[in-house]
Every structure is written in structure tokens, then in C-alpha cells.
Amino acid sequence: MNRVAISRFGRNAARVALVVAIPATLAGCGINTIPTQDEATKTAWAEVQNQYQRRADLIPNLVATVKGYAAQEKDVLTAVTQARASATQVKVDASTITDPAQFQKFAAAQDQLSGVLGRLMVIQEQYPDLKSNQNFLALQSQLEGTENRITIARRDYNETAQKYNTTLRTFPSLLWAKTLYSDQKPAQLFQATAAAQSAPTVDFSSPPTATPPKVQ
């Protein structure tokens, strides 16, 4: 092999090495981190939506069952129905997580529904026949499980979104955020509101504790 051929071979080998090295170097600098975490945040958000929708689907049957035994509790039943309607009317999608106004509107509507559901849960203590109804007990179990999954989904979403937000602000991914991914916005986070922390406690299986008689 003459010197010209060797020289050409060397230049070609260098080009190949450069082509291979550039993607590896960029990957090592975190160029893929932002889109990867963006997708993870959207996936976590979808799970939040799924669990809230599951709760909304349970409420009509729950209200109908309670109404059959406690029709006089009209105010609470109406409040639950209206809160559910308000919550389901808030339109959300993947873009909601970077829209502060729409995200807060969704979170506020769901927190309001949690609050009135808490009031509905108290009613069953006054109606023994309702507490022993098999349909009611089944709904209780499903709602309790859904509330637990909502809590977990919100926590997981917040953790994923916080990690994504940190990536957007820190080096070296900050460089990519300002150049290749300049359209990426921070994700909104759920706040620990009083309504979210206190509502609803779903436990229909344990009878209320009897008040001991006073000693005269």
C-alpha cells in the first residue's frame, strides 16, 4: 500500500471515529436527558389523570346508593354531584403540566371534590342500613383503593416533575435547555392543600365508637 492510500485510509478512519465519538460525547453530556425526563413526566401525569377519572366514574353509583338510604342528605349529595361535574369539565392533556393556570384549575377542582367527598363519607355513620349494604361496601373498597392510588400517583408525578425541572436549571443540561430544547417549560407541581390532606377518609367497615354512659 503506497503512502497516498495510507493517507486516505487514515483520514477516512479519523472521520469514522469522529462520527462515532460525537454522539457518544453528546450523550455523555446529557443531550438526551431532557426529552427522556419530559416523557417520564408526561407518563406520570397520565397516571394521575387515570386515577382521578377512575374516582369520577365511581361517584355516580356511590351517590345513587347513598341517596337510597339517606335521601334527606340532599345538600351533600348535590354538592358531590356538582363538584364532580366541575372536576370532569376541566379539560387537560399533556400540555397542561406546563400551563400554570390550567394545571391549578384542574388541581383546585379535584381538591374541591375531595373535600365534599369527605363530607359524604361522614353520612354513613348515621345510617346503619347503608353501612351494611353490599353494593355500598363494594363501592367503599373501590373508592378507598382509588384514593390511595391518587395519593401515590400525585407523589410520583411530583417527584418526576421536580427531577425534570432540576435538569432544566442545572449544568450541563442547562446548555441544551437554552439551545436545542428552548421550547421546554418547567412542569407544574401539586401543592399539599388542606383539602387534599384531610379528604376523604374512606372507612365504612368499623362501627363508630360508642360513648360510655355517664356515671351519676
Portion of the chain with pLDDT greater than 90, in percent: 71
For residues 72 and 37, give the distance between their C-alpha atoms in angstroms, rounded to a whole number. Answer: 50
Task: Please tell me which residue, 21 or 150, carries the higher pLDDT value.
Answer: 150
pLDDT tens-digit series, residues 47-78: 999 999 999 999 999 999 999 999 999 999 99
Q: 34-198 adopts what CATH topology?
A: de novo design (two linked rop proteins) (1.20.1440)
> What is residue 200's predicted lDDT score, i.e. its pLDDT?
54
Mean pLDDT of the chain: 84
pLDDT tens-digit series, residues 130-188: 999 999 999 999 999 999 999 999 999 999 999 999 999 999 999 999 999 999 999 99
**Helix runs in 170-187, H state only:** 173-178
Q: DSSP string spanning 28-53?
A: HTTTTHHHHHHHHHHHHHHHHHHHHH
- What the block records as the C-alpha cell of 213 is 354512659
For residues 140 and 146, give the distance between their C-alpha atoms in angstroms, rounded to a whole number. Answer: 10
Q: Give yes or no for a contact between 62 and 133, defined as CB atoms under 8 angstroms apart.
A: no
For residues 98 and 189, give the distance between their C-alpha atoms in angstroms, rounded to a whole number. Answer: 10
> What is residue 206's predicted lDDT score, i.e. its pLDDT?
42
In which residue are the cell numbers 443540561 written? 173
Going by pLDDT thresholds of 50, 70 and 90, the confidence category of residue 30 is: confident
Tell me the mean pLDDT in the region 190-199.
Answer: 65
